[in-house]
Amino acid sequence: MSGSKCRIVIVGGVACGPKAAARSRRRDPNAEIILIERGKLLSYAGCGLPYFVGGAVPELDGLRQTTYGQIRDEDYFRDVKNIDVRLCTEAVEIDRCEKKVHLRQIEGGAMSSVSYDRLVLATGSRPVIPPIAGIDLEGVFNVHAPADAEQIRRRIDADEVNHAVIIGAGLIGLEMCESLFNHAVDATVLEMKEHALPAFLDFEMAAYFQKELVRDGIELATGQRVLRLEGDGRVSKVITQDKEIETDMVILAAGVRPNVDLARAAGLAIGETGAIAVNEYLQTNDPDIYAGGDCVECVDQVSGVKVYAPLGSTANRHGRVIGDNLTGGRETFAGIVGTTVFKTLNLNIGKTGITEKRARELGYDVVTSITPCLDHAHFYPGGKEFLLKLTADRGDGRLLGAQLIGPGDVTKRVDILATALRFRATLRDVAGLDLGYSPPFSQAMDGVIHAANSTRNRLDGMLSALTPPEARERLARGNGMILLDVREAKEVEKNPMRDQRAVNIPLSELRRRMHELPQDAEILCICQVGIRGYEAGVILQGNGFGNVKYLDGGMRVWPFVMAGVESPE
């Protein structure tokens, strides 16, 4: 603990800033700590704003309460933490030579300055505002600050919104789907890129996600560039390149960018991602100035490259490290593995590490698998499914990333895999994990272990699989591949493949009917989710069939496989 009378000035009062302030106070009771925040509220859970809009959090104050119910306001920070909080105050300039921060009152514009021994920049992010005509119309909102959420909630509570358009199918946009759904507000989600969650999911996993989302009643349109918004003072229509959508509200969810204006003007280094560059101690290129939260870049521990990944969890971890180092510590922040979880409607989504697409961009030779899982034993009531995609390095088997989607419990598995990534585990390491088992909580071999073994089978060459993109490309060429559907007749009747190349021989009949198939043909085995397809392929391969593969993900990914592929007559 440092006993010196150090003045610490922190700019930014949402996540990283208050955490750094509180940690500094615990370590140094004598430090003078000043927290500057341009807004009216501080230390609130910004990630909870969609849940306030949806009603799961009834009052906005619920996002800034302690676990024992006290509101984290100015009085709380003064009385409990002995921290001087200055709300509605903007830091406009840093004088590094004089070690001063120049301030301006938001209301009235009065100027002042404060000196510092150590300075922390926790300036966060700002929403991306697309250059769209009509963006300034009434009824167009962001979901970035409490005031945004309050306005949206007020409109909904006043029954002024029957339909909303959400621009952007990222985390916030899709969380807002559920919030609107809870108020019986119809929603149309527009995404400029080719699929939803483009930063988090590969195409085939996104295809499964989108199918489930549409089934729950959400209209999702991808590949849609918004041209303009129309309305007489208030937005009433959204125009894309091929759609005209009448609406009562538009929610902008096009992402965020780091708020670095103050740092850049002060001559602090900006990294390759556009965020503030910091070292392992979260110092900028000025050793007396630290930075953390949504305004800085991080090291991706999987690939070693710098990334911009704004998350409340990361911001809080940054704050603790900074608080230690402000008060004489030498704590380091090693980086992130890119772990994200969220839910929308009946689906849970998780991602950690890098996607297959990103891995290939970085030059990795990868092997992947898509494995259907249950979140607990199949014989115990109430089990729910999820799909798990693993991506690994083909050379050494090191795990590179995972994606999980479904109504089942994905969060437990994401955290297992995030831990494995942190310690650079291989597929063999993951398959050997001693995980807890009890029928209400997991299968005897948890989905994580099952998926690792499935991917290892690929590396060992036991049976070739076609990923959905590979199958799509192969079928588009119109070759003579036989699509061997090994589902039972009732499954086929309920969800037919509708392809002339399809031959239905249920797995239960395959051993006695395999003579119906030509041994020299290329055969792609397909079932509902992939397990029986793999089993069928092993049976055929063991009986002399030399060109057998199975479809990774089965009928779950079939709509994506056949998108734009014509079935031969």
The 3-state DSSP class for residue 220 equals strand
In a domain, 444, yes or no: yes
User: Given CA atoms 423, 427, 429, 432 in this order, what sign does their dihedral have?
Assistant: positive
Beta strand residue intervals within 50-110, DSSP E: 84-86, 89-95, 100-105
Q: What percent of the chain has pLDDT over 90?
A: 85
Q: Which of 430, 460, 490 represents a domain boundary (last residue)?
A: 460
* Confidence check: pLDDT of 4 > 80: no
Whether 81 and 21 have beta carbons less than 8 Å apart is answered as: yes
In a domain, 410, yes or no: yes
Task: Write the pLDDT tens digit of every residue in 525-551.
Answer: 999 888 899 999 999 999 999 999 999
Predicted local confidence at residue 180, as pLDDT:
94
Q: Which of 254, 271, 304 represents a domain boundary (last residue)?
A: 254
- Give yes or no: residues 109 and 11 share one domain: yes
- Give yes or no: residues 452 and 344 share one domain: yes
Q: Where does the pLDDT of residue 468 fall: very low under 50, low under 70, confident under 90, or very high at 90 and above?
A: confident
* Confidence check: pLDDT of 566 > 60: no
Across the range 377-392, mean pLDDT stands at: 94
Task: Write the pLDDT tens digit of every residue in 449-467.
Answer: 999 998 998 888 877 888 8
Q: Is 295 noted as a catalytic residue in this protein?
A: no
Predicted local confidence at residue 204, as pLDDT:
85
- Give yes or no: residues 392 and 352 share one domain: yes
Residue 39: Cβ within 10 Å count:
17
Query: Residue 12: which of 316, 282, 276, 293 has the closest Cα?
Result: 293
- Give yes or no: residues 350 and 436 share one domain: yes
Across the range 360-369, mean pLDDT stands at: 95
Name residue 424's amino acid: R
Distances in Å between the Cα of 524 and the Cα atoms of 413, 460, 503, 550 are 30, 19, 10, 5
Whether 326 and 118 have beta carbons less than 8 Å apart is answered as: yes
At residue 562, what are phi and psi to the nearest 5 degrees? -90, 0
In a domain, 78, yes or no: yes
As a whole number of angstroms, the distance between CA 201 and CA 70 comes to 38
In a domain, 535, yes or no: yes
- The total of structural domains in the chain comes to 4
Which residues are bridge partners to 246 per DSSP?
237
207 or 333: whose pLDDT is higher? Answer: 333
Across the range 340-353, mean pLDDT stands at: 94
As a whole number of angstroms, the distance between CA 404 and CA 383 comes to 16
- Give yes or no: residues 493 and 454 share one domain: no
The 3-state DSSP class for residue 289 equals strand
* Confidence check: pLDDT of 2 > 60: no
Active-site choice (6, 16, 47, 177): 47
> Which residue range is the domain that position 480 belongs to?
464-562
Predicted local confidence at residue 564, as pLDDT:
54
Across the range 512-531, mean pLDDT stands at: 92
* Confidence check: pLDDT of 145 > 50: yes
Predicted local confidence at residue 226, as pLDDT:
96
In a domain, 2, yes or no: no
Give helix then strand counts, H and E, for the chain: 17, 30
Residues constituting the chain: 569
Tokens of 417: 């895999």
* Confidence check: pLDDT of 223 > 70: yes
As a whole number of angstroms, the distance between CA 375 and CA 33 comes to 47
Task: Write the pLDDT tens digit of every residue in 58-114.
Answer: 999 999 999 999 999 999 999 999 999 999 999 999 999 999 999 999 999 999 999
- Give yes or no: residues 346 and 418 share one domain: yes
Across the range 326-353, mean pLDDT stands at: 96
Across the range 416-445, mean pLDDT stands at: 96
- Spatial strand order of the sheet with 100-105 comes to 89-95, 100-105, 111-115
- Give yes or no: residues 381 and 413 share one domain: yes
Range 448-467 burial, b when 16+ CB lie within 10 A, else e:
bbbbbbbbbbbbeeebebbb
Predicted local confidence at residue 565, as pLDDT:
52
- Give yes or no: residues 108 and 22 share one domain: yes
- Give yes or no: residues 107 and 202 share one domain: no
- Give yes or no: residues 355 and 455 share one domain: yes
Query: Residue 164: which of 192, 207, 153 has the closest Cα?
Result: 153
As a whole number of angstroms, the distance between CA 549 and CA 538 comes to 9
Rounded to 5, what percent of the chain is helix, strand, coil? 30, 25, 45
Q: List the alpha helices (DSSP H) in 468-514.
A: 468-476, 489-494, 507-513
Q: Where does the pLDDT of residue 443 fall: very low under 50, low under 70, confident under 90, or very high at 90 and above?
A: very high
At residue 50, what are phi and psi to the nearest 5 degrees? -60, -30
- Give yes or no: residues 171 and 198 share one domain: yes
Which residues are bridge partners to 120 per DSSP?
10, 290
Distances in Å between the Cα of 514 and the Cα atoms of 387, 484, 519, 542 are 30, 11, 9, 12
Q: Which residues contact 412 (CB under 8 A, 6 or more apart)?
A: 375, 442
Query: Residue 123: which of 152, 151, 101, 150 has the closest Cα?
Result: 101
In a domain, 131, yes or no: no
Tokens of 127: 């929403």
Across the range 391-400, mean pLDDT stands at: 97
Predicted local confidence at residue 185, as pLDDT:
94
The 3-state DSSP class for residue 298 equals strand
Tokens of 339: 């772990």
Across all residues in the chain, what is the average pLDDT?
A: 93
At residue 272, what are phi and psi to the nearest 5 degrees? -65, -20
As a whole number of angstroms, the distance between CA 225 and CA 335 comes to 34
In a domain, 156, yes or no: yes
* Confidence check: pLDDT of 53 > 70: yes
Q: Which own/partner contact pairs does 342-345 have at CB distance under 8 Å and 24+ positions apart?
A: 342/171, 342/174, 342/175, 343/175, 343/178, 344/174, 344/175, 344/177, 344/178, 344/213, 345/177, 345/178, 345/181, 345/213, 345/216, 345/218
* Confidence check: pLDDT of 1 > 90: no
* Confidence check: pLDDT of 567 > 60: no
Read off the CATH number of the domain in which 63 is found.
Answer: 3.50.50.60
Q: What percent of the chain has pLDDT over 70?
A: 98
* Confidence check: pLDDT of 342 > 90: yes
Q: Which of 268, 292, 326 represents a domain boundary (last residue)?
A: 326
As a whole number of angstroms, the distance between CA 96 and CA 78 comes to 28
- Give yes or no: residues 456 and 477 share one domain: no
| Pairing of β 100-105 and β 89-95 | antiparallel
| Pairing of β 340-344 and β 347-353 | antiparallel
Read off the CATH number of the domain in which 499 is found.
Answer: 3.40.250.10
Query: Residue 163: which of 175, 148, 179, 180 has the closest Cα?
Result: 180
* Confidence check: pLDDT of 31 > 60: yes
Classify residue 130 by its DSSP letter.
-
In a domain, 173, yes or no: yes
